[in-house]
Structure 1
Amino acid sequence: MFILLVVSFLVLAHLYMWKRLVADTTARGSTARRTGTAALVVLMLLTVAALALGTGVDPAIAQWFAWPGYLWLAAFFYLAITLLVLELPRLFLRRWAAKEPADDEPSGVSRRTVLARGSAAVAGVVATGFVGYGVSVAMGSPTVTRVPMALRRLDPRAEGCRIALISDVHLGPIIGRSHTERIVELINAERPDLVAIAGDLVDGEVAHLAEAAAPLADLRSTHGTFFVTGNHEYYSGYQQWIDHLPSLGVRPLRNEHVDITHNGGTFHLAGVNDHTAYQWQDEGDVAAAVRGRDPGNAVVLLAHQPRDLPSAVDANVDLVLAGHTHGGQLSPFELIVNLQQGAVAGSYEFGDTRMYVTRGAGFWGPPVRVGAPPDITIVELRTT
């Protein structure tokens, strides 16, 4: 049903794009119109293929339609936004444009066509600029952000414990082993005490992506590497990754917690299954994740989605570490993300519970990031 809705939306949106970029700018029956129509159809089909097949096909094959399909999705996004913004001046200029004869009359190109071509040109320049810039950011090295977080119940002896937080790597047809190696190198250079992977590590099966994930075995920290599922693990067959990750030295936390003793001081590190995991009969349960805790110890909860914050507040969690949002990835998409998640990126505080949301170390879909560079966060625990 979800795929059907997405495809229906894409078809309708491409009809609008065809009207503004092709029909309004070319003569009926012309070669230019036929070429433009064919190009839009091909690009739409590539995008549908990338969305529908990207996680189930060998990345060596999927990359051939994922790259053009996802790049077009980003370009389409900015083309649509720009064209919609330009609808307002087009509305004011309708009377001016209507004074000219139609294109097929001998007087030449009409004002209406000039206006349409000008709008199309502006939209094309804007979209190309955003996508070109966004590719350079997305494919570049993640930034390393260092964030101190004061916890009310943290044992003073555990102060200074440094957690390397990553999320949303999205290994798949575009992101592969070299990006994992770069992330591991950046984390190890920080000499963290603990590594936390907050879900959406992969977009595909173990059989296709084991090699891309293999460098995770080289992560080095005092207390080890921990993982919780994101929604994309469930699209890819989550159980096979739960079974595979321990072979790389990564421990999944499945609605449970472990004790971390740092310099003699102990706190609980809890992990919860993804917020949408109930659809796969693997429901996330924050209460179960902290059951049996010592009420005197601080609790750090690893959760994929910020939407788990209310449950964390109810469970008296001190700190939530989350991802999922990508910081919006394609600005101004963060406005919608904030409505759906209640958070986008950075630090939040709700009563006695604090939350930090990372922008993610990779990207989903388009290899494009605008206004939301990829991020690795070093969270340093402190006392209040």
Structure 2
Amino acid sequence: MRLFLLSALLHGLIALRLLPALASTAAGALASWLLLSAVLVPMGLMARRFARPPRSDRLATAGLFALGLFSSLFVLTLARDLLSLVAWGTGVATPAWLRTSAEAVPLLALALTALGLLNTRRTARIKQVEVPIAGLPPALEGFTIAQISDLHVGPTIRAGYVERIVERVNGLQADLVAITGDIVDGPVHELGSHVAPLAGLRSRHGSFFVTGNHEYYAGAAPWLAELRRMGIRVLLNEHVVIEHDGGTLVLAGVPDYSAHHFDPAHRSDPAAALAGAPPHAGARILLAHQPRTAAAAEQAGFDLQLSGHTHGGQFFPWIYFVRLQQPFTAGLHRMGRLWVYVSRGTGYWGPPKRVAAPSEITRLRLVASPSWAGSGPTPTQGGVPHR
């Protein structure tokens, strides 16, 4: 009931700010949609309480689309109010201006939502990134990692999309595949068949997975068992040693940064994940769902951390708010001696909407960087040109 009440209040605020300035026909159309959306949004978020699959999936899809449109409506309404203050101060806030600006808000919100929907229907594209590792031995020069993250298989992302992702990843012929969490938004018995194509991932050294926060929402233990059954290696505060053409690479993984709130045994610990690793390893790589694991990873002695979680903000204006919680939003960055790469995600969460934050499959290639000794002050942000 609280969610329904909150939805009604926020939709009512939009109605209060826009409807008085609109002509009767436009006002009626917008009012009808706001009434429908005020109900759809909470019902979509709690679809499994109102129906069973497949009807719950259809309800969730409608509600999540409404949520995406509402988000843009709300933000643009606030922006119009700010512009109106300026317009009143400069004397240009005529009735015609107020009507035109009120008409523009739903039209622009609908255009952004339609564009975001179109972007989510496209299969994630390949993003090429080179990561310079100080002292990388020749045997590991050119070692490639295919990273997928934040698939969020659920009501609007199904087996067909996962199959296309697997096909593109396999086409990279990577040395290993890293899956950095949040692959599901639901339980195994509902989504197992839609995640099953991940068993077809192919690389020289196999596929490796670490949990994201959504695995714990969906039931982490059954999903970890299912992934292991599929042949995907799960890394929970542990590492594997990979021998590659005479070189040694350590690949470690930690549970999600917040996992201990769901299971105390899953507290994220990069130092424990690296314990016992061979000291002569040519590269030490950590899989960690959230970028904010980076401070502990840098202290533990890792060279590179691969993360996701942020979705690059997914769509305006949230692309500017991620930094309030995470040290990095997307791309390649430096924290001390540690490189951190943050994927924008291979799927999306919630509203089927991506604007200015495209989904990606990342192909990371390790290259030697003998000119950097790994000591002394370094920038907290930075990067290498992405191809």
**TM-score interval for Structure 1 and Structure 2 normalised by the shorter chain:** 0.7 to 0.9
AA paired with 2:138?
P
Q: Alpha-carbon deviations, 1:52-81, whole Å to 9, x = none?
A: 346997552222222221112221222222
Residue 269 of structure 2 aligns with an amino acid whose one-letter code is D
Tell me the secondary structure at the aligned position of residue 171 of structure 1: coil
Q: CA deviation at 1:11?
A: 3.9
Distance in 2 separating the partners of 1:332 and 1:88: 15
The corresponding residue for 1:266 is 248
Partners of 1:324 and 1:55 lie apart in 2 by: 26
- 1:166-187 C-alpha deviation (Å, 9 max, x unpaired): 1000000000000100100000
Provide the residue aligned with 2:313 in structure 1.
328
Q: Distance in 2 between matches of 1:201 and 1:289?
A: 22
Is 2:122 the partner of 1:137? no
The aligned runs of 1:183-222 (5 Å cut-off) are 183-222=165-204
Determine which of 159, 162, 166 is the counterpart of 1:177.
Answer: 159
Rg: which structure is higher? 1
| Alignment match of 2:61 (pick from 64, 67, 74) | 67
Structure 2 distance, partners of 1:58, 1:369, is: 28
- 1:348 aligned to 2:345? no
Shift of 1:206: 0.5
Equivalent in 127, 133, 147 of residue 165 of structure 1: 147
Do the aligned partners of 2:4 and 2:38 also contact (CA within 8 Å) in 1?
Answer: no
Q: 1:1-384, aligned counterparts within 5 Å? A: 9-25=6-22, 37=31, 39-53=33-47, 59-92=53-86, 112=95, 115-281=97-263, 282-297=266-281, 298-384=283-369
Which stretch of the first structure deviates more once superposed, 159-168 or 15-24? Answer: 15-24
Partner of 1:107: none
Identity of paired residues, percent?
Answer: 40
Which TM-score applies when normalising by structure 2?
0.87
Q: Structure 1 CA distance, aligned partners of 2:309 and 2:48?
A: 19
Closer, same or farther in 2 for the Cα pair 1:369/1:59, shift >3 Å?
Answer: farther
Q: Give distance in 1, aligned partners of 2:98 and 2:67.
A: 22
Q: Distance in 2 between matches of 1:54 and 1:148?
A: 43
CA–CA distance in 2 between the matches of 1:368 and 1:246? 31
- Aligned-partner Cα distance in 2 for 1:55–1:189: 40
Whole-angstrom distance in 2 between the partners of 1:250 and 1:315: 25
- For residue 46 of structure 2, give the secondary structure of its aligned residue in structure 1: helix
> Residues 122 and 39 of structure 1: is their aligned pair in 2 closer, same or farther, counting only changes over 3 Å?
closer
Structure 2: runs of 5 or more not aligned: 370-387
Shift of 1:92: 4.9
- The SS at the match of 1:147 is strand
Cα distance in 2 for partners of 1:351, 1:367 equals 36
Q: 1:142: Cα distance to partner?
A: 0.8
1:97–1:356 Cα change, 3 Å: closer
Q: For this pair of structures, how many residues does the alignment match?
A: 365
Cα separation, 2, equivalents of 1:164 and 1:57: 38
How many Å apart are 1:158 and its aligned residue? 2.0
SS in 2 for 1:341: coil
* Residues in 2 aligned to 1:131 and 1:55: alpha-carbon distance in whole angstroms: 26
Change (3 A) 1:92 1:288: closer
Determine if contact 1:257/1:270 at 8 Å carries over to the other structure.
yes
Structure 1 regions of 5+ residues with no counterpart? Answer: 99-110
How many angstroms apart in 2 are the aligned matches of 1:371 and 1:56?
Answer: 34
Residues 144-180 of structure 1 show CA distances to partners (whole Å, capped at 9, x for unaligned) of 0111112224332122211100100000000000010
Over 3 Å counting, the alpha-carbon distance change for 1:54 and 1:153 in structure 2 is farther
SS at structure 2 position matched to 1:301: strand
RMSD: 2.5
Shift of 1:267: 1.1
Report how far residue 120 of structure 1 moved. 2.5
- What are the superposed Cα offsets for residues 235-271 of structure 1, whole Å, 9 maximum, x if unpaired? 1001110000112111111111011111121111000
Tell me which amino acid in the other structure corresponds to 1:290: L
Contact 1:55 1:235 in 2 (8 A): no
Partners of 2:47 and 2:57 within 8 A in 1: no
2:180 and 2:18 map into 1 onto residues whose CA distance is: 41
Whether contact under 8 Å (1:56, 1:204) holds in the other structure is no
CA gap 1:314/1:84 in 2 versus in 1, 3 angstroms: same
